[in-house]
Amino acid sequence: MNAPLATLAGLAQRFALELRGPGDARIEGVASLQDAGPAQVSFLANPQYRARLRATRAAAVVLAEADAADCPVAALVSRNPYADFARIAALYDARPAPQPGVHPSAVVAPDAVVEAGASIGPQCVVGARSRIAAGAELGPGCVVGDDCVVGAQSRLVARVTLVERVVLGQRVLVHPGAVLGADGFGLAMDGGRWLKVPQLGGVRIGDDCEIGANTTIDRGALGDTVLEEDVRLDNQIQIGHNCHIGAHTAMAGCVGVAGSTRIGRHCLVAGAAGISGHLSICDKVTISAMTMVTRSITEPGEYSSGLPMQDNRTWKRNIARFRHLDEIVRKLLPRVRELDNDE
C-alpha cells in the first residue's frame, strides 16, 4: 500500500469516510477494540461493545454517526461500519501471489487446458477436458475431475475436489476439504433393494461465491445443482442434488438442504438449520438457527422453530407438558366453547 493510503487521511479519502480527528497517524494494521494499539484501526458495529469503545487505544475507530461523540480517539464515520472496516482490513490481508505455471508433481490430462497465468500447485490433478482459466489458483492436493471449469481468478485453497461436470465462475473461493460434484443421493426401491439412480447432471457456481471448508455440493440427477452469484456458504454445509440457491444468499455452518429445493435471493440461513427437499423458499427470508423447514415459504420474513436454551429442570417440565399437549387441548376445548357460547 502506498504512503498516502497508510495514513488515516488516506484511508478516509479512499473509502469515502468522514475523518474526525488528526489524519497523519500511520496505520500498520487492524484489530479489535480491546486489542488495538496506536498504529491500528478498529471498528464498532454492534451496540453491545460500546463499553469497549471508551477504553480503546486504537488510532481510529470506524463507526456510525450515532457513536462518534463517544469515541475517545479519531473517528472514521461510516454509513456501514462493518463493511467499511472489512474493506480497510483487506488492505492488510497480504498473501504472496501464486506462482503461475504447473508444479512438477501435478498431473494434468493431455486434453485439459491450463491458461497462461493459472497456477497449479503440488500434487494437484486436472482431469480430461477440464479448463483452468487465467489467474485461477489450485492449491496443494486439489483434484479437478473431468469436464470441469475453474473460472478466472478463482481459488481452490487446498485439498478441494471437483468430482466431475463442475463449473466455477470468476473469483470463486473454495476452502479446504470441500467436495463439489459428488453423486447426489438418488435411490429407487425395487423388490426390497435399493437401486442407484445415475446422477447425470453437474454443478454450476456463479461469480464471487465462497464455499467453506468441508462443505459438499452434490451434482444434479438430470439438470444441474446451481448457486447463483455471490452465494456464501460456511463450513460443513450439505447441498443436495438439483438445489438452486439464489444470488446473495448466505448460510452458516452445518446447514443441510435436501435435494431439489429452491432458495431465493438475499436469504439468510443460520447454523444447523435443516431444509427438506422439493421445497421453494422465496426471496429475503431469514431462517434462524436449528430451524426445521418442512414446507415452502412464500412470504419474506424471519422463520424459526425449536426451543431456545432453558435450565434443564424447566426444559424437562416443558417437554413433559408438550407430550400431553393434544390431550390437554382436547380436555380444554369443550370448556372454551362453553365460555364462547355464554358470551
Burial class of residue 30 (count of CB atoms within 10 Å of its CB; 0-12, 13-18, 19+): buried
Longest dimension (CA), the chain: 88
Q: Which residues are known to be catalytic?
A: 241
E strand or H helix at 283 = none
DSSP class per residue in 107-132: EE-TT-EE-TT-EE-TT-EE-TT-EE
What is the helix, strand, coil percentage profile of the chain, to 5?
20, 30, 50
Question: How far is the C-alpha of 262 from the C-alpha of 280, rounded, in Å?
Answer: 5
Phi then psi for 182, rounded to 5 degrees?
-70, 165
